[in-house]
Structure 1
Amino acid sequence: MESPKIAVLGAGVVGTTTARLLQNEMRNTEVTIIAESFKEDTTSAVAAGMFRPGTSFRGSTKEITKKWIDNSWEYWQEILKSSEAPQAGLMSFSSYIFSKENYQVTRNHLIEDLVPIYRPADKNELKICGEGWKYGSYFSTLKIGCERYLPWVEKKFTVNGGKIVKGKIDSFTSLPQRFDLVFNCTGLGAKYLCNDFDLVPIRGQVIKARVPWLKTAFYGDYDAYIIPGFDDIATLGGVRQYDSYNMNVCKHDAAAIFERSCELLPALKNVEIIEHKVGLRPHRVPVRVEGELINGLKVVHCYGHGGYGVMCAPGTAMDAVKIGVDLFKSNIRSKV
């Protein structure tokens, strides 16, 4: 048989990771990434990329959700331990999460048994960000900087023979050529590609600021977070605006983000603001990872990660690839 032809729709962190895993799993295949936006133009590039999945991230069962998270952590750990970690945008650090009102928001049952350290903050640590914090936790984690990861994984993909095609796919019948298997990693684009109205945007806005002294992440009440990054560029956030399609920077959101960040860490008042960014998180419950036959075309869906696509892309991609392999093998058997 000729080498099977596979298309991956979408070049964000989910699509590029899926494409790379496909090359590793299905040897001698021709894999093509088709997308309208790449690298810094994707929603993935807006995200801070800290590994801290929220409770709104869900697969079809609790067991599947936990498997996705655990497998993603191991995938990132493998890169983190390699010499390519800096080029791939991986770095480890620690984080505090504080609350003045609710002890439970400082806990995360999805990663407490996964990360090396997850413990309650002591009385002195509760005063790091000023007075009034009643509850807190300290944990170790990692960051995936997509401004580095996406170019890194795309290069790995193309060096291994992968193809890149820039273009918008409006329907599965409008693909530029015949493919034996298609992976739908289009994020919010799947809303119309699949007529999936369970998929809604959650608008996010962040501030990128130069904070060379920041080595630890901080979370506070009301979606306030400060996360270190590469080249001394930290991410200050954020907002979660349900069902909003506004891609413009809102000066009121920017002012609120900066005010909350400075309340959390007063030393931020004099930092250099580099830019403001906006992205639409593709939110769906549960995240859709499943196969489907569409007009005779074998399609594997992998989308709806919300604000947790960067951290949990590998785990969902592994399941998507497995589904794709099984679909392809069943196709071969049907021809024998």
Structure 2
Amino acid sequence: MGDIAVVGGGVIGLTCALRLAEAGHRVEVVADLAPGDTVSAVAGGLWFPYLAAPADAVLRWARVSLARFAELAALPGTGVWRREGVVLHRHADPDLSWTAVVPDCRPATAGELPPGVTSGVVCTLPVVDTAAYLAWLAESCAAAGVAVRRAHVTRLGDLPQPVVVVAAGLRSGALLGDPTLEPVRGQVVRLANPGLTRWVVDDDNPAGMTYVIPRGHDVVCGGTADRGATATGLDVEVERAVLDRAVALVPELRDAPVVSRAVGLRPSRPAVRLDRVRHSGRAVISCYGHGGAGVTLSWGCAADVVGLSGP
């Protein structure tokens, strides 16, 4: 099979590269950032189809990823767990479409709901420590023979490979002349884990979207979803508000010390772009615009990329 270049070293790029190599392709990842410096490393790591469309394709991709993460949770060193938690709802008609691909969902009991919350869904989902997981992905790519080159790609025509996969997050738009990509700023703060294992998501919180995701040694607290915002510096006031909401939801976090902080720009688009076209004299497979669901959709989208990689 012909050589393939994958532009982008985040969770989408690495997962595509791994699956392509496993399918027999010779693959080179070309990226200007190490995996731990990408927006993927900022993600809270809970499997959940957030800020991604179209709905039918998203659920199909998410189902594939859900099954793969269940396998990875049984393996040491992947940074993946399966943990129970609750998605809270504060409106009478919440969107429950995602539950169609999640087994064993149940309504939350009254004792599992904080004041002001009308309902909730309890289920067990994958939780990913993104730093450990990205390291595992990179090691898996290396073991599969994927080459990695640190470079800033400005023109696809400069790449020698006959097939290119564009999985460069927000930078994908500039490479392909796509003006529809929009940054959605997210800020998180990570606290030392006081022993929590149960996650909680409260997107409808009137004070601002809130999630608390215990991983291994830390708990990711968020968050924000500021459309069009491009600043990547930490905002002290935003962090204070995030912590106030997180502690109100999970009081056990009140005295937990801060371990780290991060800001990332989610690559949002009206719909995930996953197609194959001719561009700059080569076959170009696009795989970008995953919004806040890059981890969640990664394995499903990578399977489609492999399907598009043939002659």
- 1:191 shift after superposition: 2.0
Shift of residue 108, structure 1, vs aligned partner:
2.6
Q: Which runs of 5+ in 2 are unaligned?
A: none
Residue 89 of structure 1 is matched in structure 2 by 79
Q: 1:171: how far off? A: 1.1
1:158 CA drift (Å):
1.3
In proportion to residue count, which structure has more helix?
1
**1:23 to partner: Cα distance:** 1.0
Deviation (angstroms), 1:71: 1.2
The alpha-carbon deviation at position 117 of structure 1 amounts to: 2.2
Q: Note if contact 1:70-1:114 (Cα within 8 Å) is conserved in structure 2.
A: yes
Taking the aligned partners of 1:34 and 1:295, their CA distance within structure 2 comes to: 17
TM-score, normalised with respect to structure 1: 0.87
1:109 corresponds to 2:86? no
Q: Distance in 2 between matches of 1:241 and 1:117?
A: 33
Structure 2 equivalent of residue 139 of structure 1: 123
Question: Which of 164, 170, 184 in structure 1 is aligned with 2:148?
Answer: 164
The percent of aligned pairs where both chains have the same amino acid is 27
Within 5 A, what are the aligned runs for 1:260-271?
260-271=245-256
- Is the deviation greater in 202-211 or in 134-143? 134-143
CA drift of 1:122 comes to 1.4
Q: Tell me the secondary structure at the aligned position of residue 254 of structure 2.
A: helix
Q: Which of 181, 185, 192 pairs up with 1:210?
A: 192
Q: Which residue of 2 aligns with 1:333?
A: none
Aligned match of 1:195 = 177
Q: Name 1:283's counterpart in structure 2.
A: 268
> 1:201 is paired with a residue of what secondary structure?
strand
Distance in 2, matches of 1:64 and 1:304, equals 13
TM-score if structure 2 supplies the norm length? 0.94
Rounded Cα–Cα distance in structure 1 between residues aligned with 2:20 and 2:127: 24
Could you tell me whether the CA contact under 8 Å between 1:90 and 1:142 is conserved in 2? yes
Question: Alignment partner of 2:100: what SS?
Answer: coil
Give how far 1:162 is off. 1.4
Return the letter of the residue paired with 2:29.
I
Indicate conservation of the 8 Å contact 2:47/2:125, yes or no. Answer: yes
Residue 147 of structure 1 aligns to a residue whose secondary structure is helix
Q: CA deviation at 1:263?
A: 1.1
User: Could you give the per-residue CA deviations for residues 152-181 of structure 1, whole angstroms, max 9, x where no partner exists?
Assistant: 121121122211100100111222xx2121
Distance across 2 between alignment mates of 1:223 and 1:45 = 20
Residue 266 of structure 1 deviates from its aligned partner by: 2.0
Matched, 1:58 2:53: yes
- Residue 217 of structure 1: how far off its partner (Å): 0.4
**What's 1:125 paired with?**
112
Instruction: Give the superposed CA RMSD.
Output: 1.5
- Show structure 1 runs of 4+ deviating over 4 A: none
Q: Does the CA contact (< 8 Å) of 1:10 and 1:187 recur in 2?
A: yes
Unaligned stretches of 5+ in structure 1? 330-336
In 2, the alpha carbon distance for the partners of 1:300 and 1:190 equals 11
Residue 14 of structure 1 deviates from its aligned partner by 0.2
1:15-61 residue CA offsets vs partner (Å, 9 max, x unmatched): 00000000111x2x32100001122101101001101113x4113xx
SS of 1:258's equivalent? helix
